Structures are given as C-alpha cells and as structure tokens.
C-alpha cells in the first residue's frame, strides 16, 4: 500500500473520447453546464472543461469513440516522484513523468485489466470557473 505521503488525494480530471469535439463541446456546455478552460497541452483534437469544484473533463476527438479503452481518471498526489518510486518498487510499470505547460507533472500506469490511470500533481492554473 502507498505511504501516507503518497496516498491518492483527489480526482483531477476525467476524459471522454468523442467522434466530433465541437458537437461534444456544445453538448457538455449546454446540457451539463461545464465551462471551457484553456487546455494545458498542445493539440487541436481536444477541449478542456471544468466544474465549479475545479475537477476537469477533457473531451478528445477520436474516431474510436466512445471512451474505451483510453478512458482514464487522474489522481492527485503530493509527492509525485516518491509515488512513482513506490509504485515501481511494487512492480507496477509506469511511464516517465511529464511536465505540462502549466507546470503540472503527471505519469501513467495501467490497472490489471489494462485501464489507464494517471497520477499527477495539482494543476498549476487552479479553478477558473
């Protein structure tokens, strides 16, 4: 089990694959009331949206929509370097840690069924809506 220092702290964002990102953006804004925010990664195939709590929804244009198998949840941690070390020591295969445009750091792993999980630090730009 992860130590108290590296335990999961919060859900940062969820992703959904969609066939038409513009139509999906309109639906998420008009139906669910999410607000569009600046995306912190480069790419024309996605939009970032945010709930008032700060949790985000990323919609990603993908011909293979809906969101299987690349759907994932991102969990925030305080010490991402130590978390990656501990997981690796447990035999969990992890990607390298990436740093996004806003300074947020993240890496990925898969659960036993192949579901993708992201471990990340707190988002650098905070709540915008």
CATH number (domain holding residue 76):
3.10.180.10
Is residue 23 predicted with pLDDT exceeding 70?
yes
The verdict on residue 35 lying in a domain is: yes
Dist CA 111 CA 101 (whole Å): 27
Residue labelled with tokens 């024309």: 44
| Secondary structure percentages of the chain, helix, strand, coil, to 5 | 15, 35, 50
* DSSP 8-state class, residue 5: T
Q: What confidence score (pLDDT) does residue 62 get?
A: 87
Our count of domains for the chain comes to 1
The verdict on residue 5 lying in a domain is: no
The verdict on residue 63 lying in a domain is: yes
Residue labelled with tokens 């036993």: 112
- The more confidently predicted of residues 127 and 57 is 57
Domain range for 72: 10-120
The verdict on residue 3 lying in a domain is: no
Mark residue 97 as left, alpha or beta (left: phi above 0; alpha: psi -120 to 50; beta: remaining): beta
The verdict on residue 128 lying in a domain is: no
The average pLDDT across 73-91 equals 90
């Amino acid at each position: 089990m992860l130590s108290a220092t590296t335990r999961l702290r919060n859900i940062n964002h969820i992703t959904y694959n969609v066939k038409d990102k513009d139509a999906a953006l309109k639906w998420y804004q008009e139906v669910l009331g999410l607000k569009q925010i600046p995306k912190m990664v480069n790419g024309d195939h996605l939009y970032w949206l945010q709930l008032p709590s700060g949790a985000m929804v990323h919609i990603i244009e993908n011909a293979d929509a809906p969101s299987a198998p690349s759907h994932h949840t991102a969990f925030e941690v305080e010490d991402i370097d130590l978390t990656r070390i501990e997981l690796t020591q447990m035999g969990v295969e992890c990607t390298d840690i990436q740093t996004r445009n806003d300074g947020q750091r993240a890496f990925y792993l898969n659960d036993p069924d192949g579901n993708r999980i992201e471990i990340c630090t707190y988002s650098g730009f905070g709540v915008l809506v």
